[in-house]
Amino acid sequence: MLGSKAIVTGDPYVTHCRRYLAEAQRDPLFSAPHLKDFLEYLSEPSSQWPVDDKPFTWPYPRPMINDLRRSSDTRSNSFDIPEKVTRDHESLGLLFLSGYPSSRWLKDVGEKYKVDMHFFQQHLGSIRPSVHVDVFAEPSLPSSSGHTLKLKIPTIGYLGDTGDSFRDMSRTRALLVEDLRKQILDNAQRHPVGQPIVRDVYLHNQEHFTLLQEVSMCLLRDNNMWTVLIWTDAGYEDKDPDLSFLFKRAPNMLHIAPKLCPTVFNRPIRFGESVYSSVASSDVRFNATQVFNSLHKAYGKTLDPHLTSQDPFYAVSEVYSFAAAAENQFLNMMRDILDNRIESIVRESLQSKNSTHDALPERANIQYDRTILDAHSDRISNVVAFLKAADDPVWFPNVDHHDRREASRARTSLVHDFQHLHAQIIQLIQRCERAMEMVAHNASLLEAKRSNLQSEGLEKLTRLTTIVTLLYVPLSFVCTFFGMNFSTFGQGKLSLWIWAAVSAPVMLISLVFLRRMLKNDSKKTRP
């Protein structure tokens, strides 16, 4: 059960974590209350976990010759495998962890490589609801987490023909967030080991959505040796994640078939050069459309194995390259969506005077886009700042001259890519601002047109009232003068023709005055 207080003895890593927290409780300046959830997670009894522990680790032994190969021992069906994996590979360069973990996996990996429990907690924090009060300790300062890195990986999705399922986009987005939260709570109870993790979902329009997943990296050093743990949100199975839980409450759920777009990860390979790949010489074929799902199974195609064994950041640079490619596709889609929104706004301004149907929805959509782009801008700017920190001794060690030049070239390429991405995001944010100004301008124009129409109507009503008044007042005066004493009404001796004879010149004089008044008004309004 989530938040269980049960304690499992005999696990060295759990004992180490418990001692760490006990020391923090004794020292008021060394507080770590946010790690209690993780300790309770590790301490859950094995009876709460599935009997079959699915594959979770994908080890890449340190390349000793000209090859970077994934270990063939990555398939598992029992709890014995975590111990076997951590025991058999003494010199790992990279160790990928994929999807939801089990406490058994984390305890064995943590004990083998002496993993800082902060790293595990940071990756688990948003997918395991805390039973304690949030102390807002994450993300931590760079000085205390320099050995860990984190990247967000967006994956574009298509919804197919949704019809009018998402007519109220704001409400649909709110339902989507609620469905994702419920799924996270459910997974915290079920422990779907090895299954993919979805951190966030963006619903852009009736055709496109975006999944947001993470990659966390931790550099572990032991004297002159190092290992990088790379924990991805991808699953162990060669298939796309099940997304049916996201659209359960859509009106036409049966017609919604969400599909993921593959990430176009183009890496130039020069003619005549060898291709470094963990699967280059195998017959492996991947069926999942989501390329991110296969990253940990086919890693290293663009890397030099010798430099990979020397430079830890160079070893993970392909993860950064993949993240840049995924972000680039996401921004291309956002640019296209913004183009369509702006075109809709312009079209709306050219339609009839009373057309205001799409003004508020488009304004809400652009605000939604702006919020997403702001978050991506913050993350990409942090990546650029890290890549430009040439004096970082943790991830950028001193290597020989040739290797330093090759590593510097790879890092410079990443700096240029992420700077380009950040510039694109800033441009899109500026377009959002201009689109918001267009919406506000169109709303002002529509309000002005509406006011003009009301003024014209009021002016016509005033003229009509004036005409009626000029006709009614003289006739009323004549009737009052004679006092309705006409023989026709049986109240006097006067003939009704006398009233007509008097009313005619009075009406004529009134019409003359009316004509002069209208003529003067036309002169005043004439430019």
Q: What is the CATH number of the domain that holds 374?
A: 1.20.58
Strand partners, 226: 221
Which amino acid is present at 239? K
- On whether the pTM is more than 0.85, the answer is no
**pLDDT attached to residue 164:** 61
User: Is 489 found in the same domain as 377?
Assistant: no
**DSSP output for 58-73:** EEEEPP-SS-----S-
The answer to whether position 20 is within a domain reads: no
User: Is 501 found in the same domain as 408?
Assistant: no
* Digitized pLDDT (tens) for each residue of the chain, 527 residues in all: 333 344 444 688 999 888 888 887 777 777 777 788 888 888 877 656 655 556 677 888 765 444 566 554 444 333 344 455 545 555 668 889 988 888 888 888 898 888 988 899 889 888 887 767 777 777 778 777 778 999 999 999 998 766 566 778 888 899 889 999 999 888 888 888 888 999 999 999 988 999 999 999 999 987 778 889 999 999 888 888 888 888 777 665 556 778 899 998 876 554 444 444 444 434 455 667 888 888 888 888 788 888 888 888 999 999 999 999 999 999 999 999 999 998 888 877 666 554 445 566 788 899 999 999 999 999 999 999 999 886 677 787 766 656 678 888 889 999 999 999 999 999 999 999 998 888 877 777 777 777 777 777 777 777 777 777 766 777 777 777 666 666 666 676 677 677 777 777 777 777 777 777 767 666 655 55
The answer to whether position 418 is within a domain reads: yes
User: Is 504 found in the same domain as 403?
Assistant: no
| CA distance linking residue 84 with residue 88, whole number of Å | 6
User: Is 413 found in the same domain as 327?
Assistant: yes
| CA distance linking residue 133 with residue 135, whole number of Å | 6
User: Is 451 found in the same domain as 383?
Assistant: yes
User: Is 319 found in the same domain as 391?
Assistant: yes
User: Is 379 found in the same domain as 313?
Assistant: yes
User: Is 400 found in the same domain as 346?
Assistant: yes
Q: Are strands 57-61 and 200-203 parallel, antiparallel or unpaired?
A: unpaired
**pLDDT attached to residue 470:** 67
The number of distinct structural domains making up the chain is 2
Token pair listed for 306: 């010798």
User: Is 489 found in the same domain as 382?
Assistant: no
The answer to whether position 12 is within a domain reads: no
* 395 and 145 Cβ atoms separated by less than 8 Å: no
| CA distance linking residue 247 with residue 280, whole number of Å | 38
The gap from C-alpha 460 to its chain's centroid, in whole angstroms, comes to 53
At a CB cut-off of 8 Å and minimum separation 6, what does 495 contact? 486, 487, 488
The answer to whether position 79 is within a domain reads: no
Range of the domain at 363: 302-465
Which amino acid is present at 424? Q
For the chain, the maximum distance between any two Cα atoms, rounded to a whole number of angstroms, is 133
